[in-house]
Chains A and B, each alone.
Chain A
Amino acid sequence: MAVLAQTLSPEAGFMRPAETVMDIARLGCLYPYPLSFMRSLLRRVVTQNWQIKPAEFSLCPEGYGHAVYEIKTPRAVFSYVIFAKKLDNAARSDRVIAEDWDMTVTLCEGIVDTERLEWLRTNVPLQEKGRVDASCFVLSRANKSVRNFEAVVSRLAAGQQPNLDEMAKVGYLYRTTAVYGSGKFGMADWDKVKARWPDFSSPFDAEMFSCWMIRHFSLVQADYVAARRAPETAVAMDDKIKRYVGIGNATGLGMAPYLINHPLLINNWIEVREIALTRVLALGIPDEITRGHFVCFAMKAMQHLDEISTDNQEQNKLNANARKDLERALSWFQDRSISTWSEVTSYASEHLGVEAQELLNVLLLELYPDLIGDLESRLAVDEVYSLQANMRTEDLKALIETHYGWALKINYSDPKTQGIFWYRSEEKMEPRLGRRFEEEGAGNEMLLGIGWYVSKCYETLCEFVTANGPEANAARFVFEYPEHRYITRRMQTMARTRYGEIRINAIDLDVLPIQLLRCKLSFFGVGKFDPRSRMWVRNTMFQGAPLVSDIGTNIGDNWCFPIRPAAA
């Protein structure tokens, strides 16, 4: 928000411009950074010494049953309720349209008694087809990576640690396939969560916590099953390997509309990130220690890139190029002394690809947690998109030209530029893409082609100004053309922000929704992207992150760019 930038005006002057930062090709290259939600959350969990203990743990020897974890934060008590069941392989699907899962979970307020547990048991496993209530604030599910889970359990049962080569390929035992919050299916509204439970008042705190708990349970379950399968020989997984086990995630088109429908929030996330970078560039002094850290982070990042396993050739190429660029930058860096970190970013922008530029930015951000830590409290924003009814239409026209020039440049007479429409399928309202000129359904198109709506509005507005004069106000314009009211108030609102809209033509025939997905996932803190098509991506969350058992220890917040542990 504008307010945020104003309070930091000394550095705001050096912030990167919107045309650079909001370009979708760049946003689609973002990596997790220290203020990513899962990093911020775990810093808080560890430093505030949250107490997480099983209040109930009722599993059969195969690991099916239920568990209830009690979570004590400095302010409140919550329960995390897990139902684990045996699932036929044929029923296991990562798609949102699936109807059965290996594990279903909810996070709720207070202690769960027997009666409430039974009520949750009748609803939580149903997911979208069930109902929960306003004391719950996350509903989620996960599926086993059957092959990996069984391989890990077999080895543990035989007294061996998991095969690290295999673990490096998959990286998790379970994959989440949907994580719901914000009032869905009767859960507590975000406004309630924010006000009532400050422990979860940053964006997606509760959802990230739930994923971390799924990861925790997956590790507990693997140890548990192995111990019951072979009590004589079984060993528990080493903590260093456990830390390397993340939680898989499959993210599809459903996440993309979120970014387009919440431009104020996304602007805020981007702005905070850019302020952080600007602070580091302005205030961080390269000395022997930080230079050493920088090199260490870079080496770790290169190894991380080497270890990413995906069948997607395009992603492999991106990773390889980023790694090569990083090596080049490192070689350049080690050959000279620099007086400011801006010399590194200048070198990157002149010589390296966008992927490596953004990667280097993250390395710099990792160097100075103290310079940027306070920003994590500023990631939430109240989203109000209000029509400025008294704005002169001539001013509105100028506003569009200034802030939406990128949209006006698109030539919509070329059918390719509107070759796609987004719609909701009758299958669980799953968002899908259709080819506008070949498939039925464009009449029910979702309002996501923002550039196109801007362009139509501008065209009408120009005619309106000609007919009514420049002094006619926006209220008069939208009264006469109610179809432009939404886009008008959106443009007026976003024009007051520093970064504005994501610059994407979401209805172009060649649109790459995974760029939107990767952008959002980077803010979550997700890495190891494994695109399965241009519409959905597998990835790994919390790999390298602290374990529940690490709470209360002096474990550091140093799990960026996770790499495989050394063999024991």
Chain B
Amino acid sequence: MTAPADLYLSLNELRALLRRVYEALYHHGYDFAVMARSCLWLEAHGLDGIGLILRSLDDLDTPCGEIQLAEPSVGTFKLDGKGRCLIPFVNAAADLAIASAQEKGVGQIDILNVFGRLNILAALKKSARLNLYAAAIWYDAGEQRTHVLWLKSSRDLPDYFILNKAVAGPWGGSGLRFVCAQSDNSVLENVRAVLPEGTSPYLTSLDLSRAYDTALEGGIAVARGDYAALNKIADRLLVPSTDASRRGAGE
């Protein structure tokens, strides 16, 4: 058997590594465990979570500036991400909408001026667990494509649509809308505004689910260079070994 070009990491192994990465980046200033899980889900569903982190590293490694939250109407939020990566605050931002959906039937947040928008996937998975309907919509001005993640009833995962055209909306060129609700109406209304009926998904929920099963079965292929880059960050957590520290191990 020859050594494979990529390393195959188990999901648990990758999750542990990602936890250390985020812990090294933010110590306990953010929920590093849920950040790691969100990234793991992307990777395990075939959506390049590791690439998203690595491409965001310069931003993640810089202290977060002030992001601004507004609530123009009850249950509707607007967040200015000031051009930062979505990773550190995506889950907390989505929670605002989810709480509104649970309390009032529908919740919505427009997150503007950010990048790394696919990180919103975890919020749709959480919505599914809470039996909510949900969708995330954004337009990527760089690639001139519109993306829609749409969680339908009775599904654990959304369908993922990509349109090769710009669809204007409150999300602009670098924002996204996340909407979730106890009934289908509000979500459908948002989705139908951008997605022509009959559009085929780029990836169905079944495709995503199969990707996860494959990852669970055989592990996740990670390029050795990427693995080294992640470890380099994670290793910032390690404390040099001294005589005192060896005593602290029970010697």
Contact = CB atoms under 8 A, between A and B. Distances in A.
Contacts of B228: none
Interface in A464-490: 473-476, 478-479, 482-483, 485-486, 489
B92 A184 contact: no
A478 B92 contact: yes
Nearest to A536: B250
A300 interface: no
A425 interface: yes
Interface in A421-439: 423-427, 429-435, 438-439
Interface stretch (B9-17, B138-146, B167-175, B186-194): B9-17
A440 interface: yes
Interface string A178-205: 0000111111111110000000000000
Given A190-B12, A482-B29, A486-B31, A473 B250 contact: no
Given A134-B8, A434-B248, A479 B102 contact: no
Interface in A160-193: 182-192
A485 B96 contact: no
Residue from A252, A425, A443, A483 with most neighbouring chain B CB atoms (10 Å): A425
B237 A134 contact: no
Interface string A439-452: 11101100100000
Contact of B31 (A427, A429, A482, A532): A482
Interface string A279-323: 000000000000000000000000000000000000000000000
B247 to A, nearest CB: 9
B219 A479 contact: no
A424 B13 contact: no
Given A131-B7, A189-B216, A434 B95 contact: no
Given A252-B249, A252-B250, A389-B96, A189 B10 contact: yes
B13 A184 contact: yes
Contact of A483 (B29, B99, B216, B244): B29
B219 A386 contact: no
Contacts of A433: 248-249
A444 B237 CA distance: 5
B249 A432 contact: yes
A533 interface: yes
Contact of B95 (A116, A439, A479): A479
A433 B251 CA distance: 11
Contacts of A252: 249-250
A493 to B, nearest CB: 12
Nearest to B31: A485
Interface string A392-436: 000000000000000000000000000000011111011111110
Nearest to A471: B103
Contacts of B96: 389, 475-476, 479
9 contacts: A131-B7, A189-B10, A192-B217, A432-B249, A434-B248, A435-B244, A440-B239, A482-B29, A489-B31
Task: List the 5 closest A-B pairs by CB distance, nearest first.
Answer: A183-B10, A535-B250, A183-B12, A389-B99, A441-B239
Interface of B: 1, 7-13, 23, 27-34, 69, 88-89, 91-93, 95-96, 98-100, 102-103, 126, 129, 216-219, 235-241, 244-246, 248-251
Given A186-B10, A479-B96, 10 more contacts: A95-B249, A131-B8, A253-B249, A385-B33, A425-B240, A431-B249, A432-B249, A434-B239, A441-B240, A482-B31
Interface of A: 95, 115-116, 118-119, 131, 133-134, 182-192, 252-253, 384-387, 389-390, 423-427, 429-435, 438-441, 443-444, 447, 453, 473-476, 478-479, 482-483, 485-486, 489, 532-536
